Amino acid sequence: MANYKILNTRGKEIQTDITLHPGEILQDELEARDIKKSFFAEQLGVKPGHLSELLHGRRHVSAATALKLEKFLGIPAEYWLRVQVYYDLFMERRKEKEVA
């Protein structure tokens, strides 16, 4: 599994102060593929409200959900979990900065 980093012209890793919740990426993916949310929720075996909460960043991508996304979209489960972990770390680091 490859790890990708964004490097500047001097080879130093670039850190960003923005991040995306995996639900935002999923929403873009569904729109790009012209997949209706209600249909996709049914395919995943979840209620439309559950999918909506995920798309709006109010639910996390679990391992089980990541495997379902892999099955129906062909995007590896590891990708979805990595995005979720990076998002969680980003949010926790932001909280630490606010406290400090």
Instruction: Please compute the mean of the pLDDT values over residues 71-93 and round it to a whole number.
Output: 95
Average pLDDT, the chain: 90
Give the chain's domain count.
1
pLDDT in tens, 24-54: 999 999 999 999 999 999 999 999 999 999 9
Instruction: Please compute the mean of the pLDDT values over residues 16-22 and round it to a whole number.
Output: 82
| 16-38 exposure pattern, b = at least 16 Cβ within 10 A, e = fewer | eeeeebbbbbbbeebeeeeeeee
- Please give the residue that has the higher pLDDT: either 5 or 18: 18
Q: What is the CATH number of the domain that holds 63?
A: 1.10.260.40
Instruction: Please compute the mean of the pLDDT values over residues 61-69 and round it to a whole number.
Output: 97
Smallest Cα–Cα separation from 20: which of 78, 90, 72? Answer: 90
Residue-number span of the structural domain to which 68 is assigned: 22-99
Confidence at 14, pLDDT banded by 50, 70, 90: low
Answer yes or no: is 32 within a domain.
yes
- The pair phi, psi for residue 5, each rounded to 5°, is -130, 150
